[in-house]
Structure 1
Amino acid sequence: MKLDHVAMNRKIAVEILKWEYDSPYDFYNNKLTQETLAEMMDGSYFVITNDLSELIGFFCTGKSAQVPSGKKFKVYEEPLFDMGLGMNPQLVGRGNGYEFCSYIVKVIEEYYHSHSIRLTVAKFNQRAIYLYKKLGFIQVNEFSANFTDFITMVKKPSFYKGLSDTRDNDKA
């Protein structure tokens, strides 16, 4: 499947805000409000489609990708590139995650190649955490907010990969 991305538009933002995930992932359901719509239209959100122009998901960057209460735990003090994402609930759990997330990481690395990427994920979402580890993210912080535990994970830019692989081999 060939993926592409464009800036978020109002019509798709409204559609995404109406997505409903099955439990326990319903934690990620949003409400369509003027505030949530305004955030999705602030320039930090991007739509991901396939070669048939079907809506696959979205990603966001910067403060939109952070859990606001994480600031009081100082998990966002290091100046890293934050990314958030959401996949169309009709595609979740069907083996699409690796290609979807790989595409987002590739886009971010191409445009912001000198930065490490940080993401925040609910600790219960072991399926996503497994995928992020497979993509090279490592856990760096943990915090609780609104009865939910979160972790932050970081991926160094691809050009560091060879260095870490060499160090790992030296330990063997």
Structure 2
Amino acid sequence: MKLSLRPINKSIAEEILKWKYDPPYDFYNNRLSDESLKELLENNYYTVFNEGELFGFFCYGKSAQVPIGHQYSVYRDDQVDIGLGLAPIQTGRGNGKAFLEFIFHHAIKKFGNKPLRLTVANFNKRAIHLYEKMGFEKTKELSNGHTLFFVMVKNVDCL
């Protein structure tokens, strides 16, 4: 696997927004709209390619946060929020660890030694298992009335 970073552009953003996941991961499906395109193109989103193929994306900051989390005061400024998405064809194939390590190294270059934070839906057992194996710990739970989320934090000195 040879992962590389590429700037996001309109055609890549459209491709990402057309990704369709199988249930229960269809929770992460998006809709191609002007608003969703604007979100990807005007915020801190990055794309990851593997040997010329779109492999996934990630983002930092507010775009990586679940809006209801602000009511629970879970998003402190001394941590780096990371959101990510792996192409549906890549899920469940053992690619998550390399993808996360790639993102970690980018985050450390960009933000230094700040702790990393993820917010993940509680039904996403595959992701939670991987995050725990990679050193993340559950610190909070929050709910938007439909979905329970775990906030997970990792200190970068655990890499």
Q: Classify the TM-score, shorter chain.
A: over 0.9
What pairs up with 1:21-100 in 2 under 5 angstroms?
21-50=21-50, 52-100=51-99
Larger Rg: 1
Q: Could you say what secondary structure the match of 2:81 adopts?
A: strand
Aligned length: 159
- 1:7–1:43 Cα contact (<8 Å) kept: no
Deviation sequence 1:60-90 (CA, Å, 0-9, x none): 1100000111111111135311000000001
CA–CA distance in 2 between the matches of 1:106 and 1:154? 16
AA of the residue aligned to 2:59: C
AA of the residue aligned to 1:92: T
Runs of 4+ in 1 over 3 A off after TM superposition: none
Aligned to 1:126: 125
The sequence identity of aligned pairs, in percent, is: 48
Deviation sequence 1:29-65 (CA, Å, 0-9, x none): 0011111110100140000001x21000000110000
CA–CA distance in 2 between the matches of 1:130 and 1:49? 24
Aligned to 1:102: 101
Gaps of 5+ in 1: 163-172
Q: Give the CA deviation at 1:7.
A: 2.2
- 1:8–1:43 Cα contact (<8 Å) kept: no
Aligned to 2:156: 157
- 2:43–2:63 Cα contact (<8 Å) kept: no
- 1:66–1:84 Cα contact (<8 Å) kept: yes
